[in-house]
Amino acid sequence: MELSLIRSLMDKQFYDEHRGAKCPNRLFTKDVQKIKSTIDNAMQSYNRSVTPDEIEALFISNNPTMSTAQKVSYDGVFHKIKNEKPLGSDIAQEVLSKLFQQVIGEDIANIGFEYVNGTSKSLEPLRHIIENYGDDFIPNLNIEWDNIEIDNLLKKNELEARWHFNIPSLIRKIEGVNAGHLIEVGARPNTGKTSFHASLIASPKGFASQGAKCVVLCNEEATHRVGARYLTASSGMTIHEVRDNPAKAKALYEPIKNNIKLKESTGRDMSWVESVCKSFSPDIVILDMGDKFARTSGFARQDEALKANAVHARMIAKQHNCAIFYMSQLSAEAEGKVLLNQSMMEGSRTGKAAEADLMLLIAKNPVVEGQDEEDNQRHINVVKNKLTGWHGVIHCELEYKTARYIA
């Protein structure tokens, strides 16, 4: 292997990238060290790539006092070098790096051994190593820089959403979502979070009818109850009407049924979610509830665990080319309020919110004393929007009995 490296060092570009301290002579055996010194002198004198024949000629001329046995020995070494093919620059760099780490590691170990055993009273030699070789502890990277040509930027920054919202008042401000997006949706209990994603996916012109493969992972409400909302949202029929006329409901549900998959997910974590995405390749993923997929062990505070959970969700969305809707509860601070903000997210005021591309917080009107029925008006607060930049409140209505959000 060392002869292959010697052959590679005859290439000026490779030599310049690994000269000096990055490739000390002591990496090589004693006899090969002399050949390495000849390469060093040749590069300094001629400033170009050299051939094995040229290095052999220089070596012989610089060592006129060699014995016959030494000449025979080096003749054999040069014969082997000439038969060696230069390593690819990436392989040569890795081999050289490993050899360098081994040699420096041995030096550091020896310094530590001598210090522990009292034969050395100072760690000054260690500081000397760090000062001389510190840069070489940082790996060299061959980076393929991202393409920022205008055509590529326009292609990557798609202005048109792949999956369109189907709530008219919402689509006028935010057309929809694309693969890689993390959408955090927050609301107080009994506001209509589950109906919101059922409406986006299953009601007319929803994600499922657009052809999106949708996965709904439920760890709060039973899947048969969530599934019932999807059925009513798709058919526009109340659950009682479905019982009275199941054939009609089935006919309305059938066209999108195969694009919707529900799974009870209680006790599962975000790694399991990633496995689901890898196995099924969905376009839309609903995490209901997102926070309940968080691992809490190993974190001193809940907000740290929730931030890590959101980071993982965002990574899954990007790596597996899907849009993830992360359903969340809002804190008691949001109770009875129409205008909401990011700090009202339960358990994580900033960390979780920082990961979202789009954050929608849903509010309802406060209950008025003596009111017989709850107001069906809903207010979607767009509090974070990296998609279009628009912020504000969108007003719509929730049809309770069909789980549909309408303008």
Query: Please, which pLDDT band fits residue 298 given cuts at 50, 70 and 90?
Result: confident
Question: Contact 212/284 with Cβ under 8 angstroms?
Answer: yes
pLDDT of 316 above 80: yes
Q: Structure tokens of 342? A: 């990011």
Selection from 407, 387, 322, 357 nearest residue 158 by Cα: 387
Q: Stretch 141-158: mean pLDDT, rounded?
A: 75
Q: Stretch 337-342: mean pLDDT, rounded?
A: 94
Query: Please, which pLDDT band fits residue 137 given cuts at 50, 70 and 90?
Result: low
Judged by phi (left if over 0) then psi (alpha if -120 to 50, else beta), residue 47 lies in left
pLDDT of 362 above 80: yes
Sheet holding 377-385, edge to edge: 260-264, 214-218, 284-288, 323-329, 182-187, 358-364, 377-385, 392-399, 404-406
Query: Please, which pLDDT band fits residue 368 given cuts at 50, 70 and 90?
Result: confident
- Identify the pLDDT of residue 133: 62
Q: Structure tokens of 218? A: 């439920």
- Alpha-carbon separation of residue 156 from 161, 358, 403 (angstroms): 12, 18, 35
- Identify the pLDDT of residue 159: 58
Query: Please, which pLDDT band fits residue 300 given cuts at 50, 70 and 90?
Result: confident
Q: What is the pLDDT of residues 17-48, one digit of tens each?
A: 777 656 777 778 888 889 999 999 999 899 99
Domain-by-domain residue ranges, the chain? 2-137, 160-406
pTM: 0.66
Q: What is the pLDDT of residues 80-128, one digit of tens each?
A: 989 888 777 778 777 777 777 777 788 888 888 888 888 887 777 777 7
Q: Stretch 174-198: mean pLDDT, rounded?
A: 95
- 369 three-class SS: coil
pLDDT of 203 above 70: yes
Selection from 334, 335, 341 nearest residue 382 by Cα: 341
- The DSSP H or E segment spanning 14 is helix 12-17
Question: Contact 288/243 with Cβ under 8 angstroms?
Answer: no
Lowest average pLDDT, out of 96-110, 173-187, 320-334, goes to 96-110
CB burial class (10 A; 0-12, 13-18, 19+) of residue 405? buried
- Identify the pLDDT of residue 167: 93
- Identify the pLDDT of residue 371: 65
- Identify the pLDDT of residue 1: 73
Q: Stretch 148-159: mean pLDDT, rounded?
A: 74
Strands in 120-193 per DSSP E: 163-164, 176-177, 182-187
Selection from 13, 139, 19, 190 nearest residue 86 by Cα: 13
- Identify the pLDDT of residue 156: 67
Q: Among the residues of 47-88, which ranges form H helices?
A: 52-62, 68-83
Q: Stretch 186-207: mean pLDDT, rounded?
A: 96
- Alpha-carbon separation of residue 340 from 102, 176, 244, 360, 374 (angstroms): 58, 21, 40, 10, 20
What DSSP character marks residue 293? G
Q: Considering the chain, what percentage of its residues have pLDDT values greater than 90?
A: 59
Name the CATH superfamily, with its identifier, for domain 160-406. P-loop containing nucleotide triphosphate hydrolases (3.40.50.300)
CB burial class (10 A; 0-12, 13-18, 19+) of residue 68? exposed
Q: What is the pLDDT of residues 169-178, one digit of tens each?
A: 899 999 899 9
Show the CA angle centred on residue 227, arms to residues 326 and 399, nearest 5°: 80
Q: Structure tokens of 165? A: 């919202």
Arithmetic mean of pLDDT over the chain: 88
- Identify the pLDDT of residue 186: 96
Query: Please, which pLDDT band fits residue 184 given cuts at 50, 70 and 90?
Result: very high
Question: Contact 74/59 with Cβ under 8 angstroms?
Answer: yes
- Identify the pLDDT of residue 126: 77
Largest CA distance in the chain: 113
Instruction: Mention every residue, 6+ apart, whose C-beta is less than 8 A from residue 240.
Output: none
Question: Contact 386/357 with Cβ under 8 angstroms?
Answer: yes
What DSSP character marks residue 175? -
pLDDT of 246 above 90: yes
Fill in the amino acid letter for 331: S
Q: Which residue has the higher pLDDT, 299 or 135?
A: 299
- Identify the pLDDT of residue 314: 95
Question: Contact 302/348 with Cβ under 8 angstroms?
Answer: yes
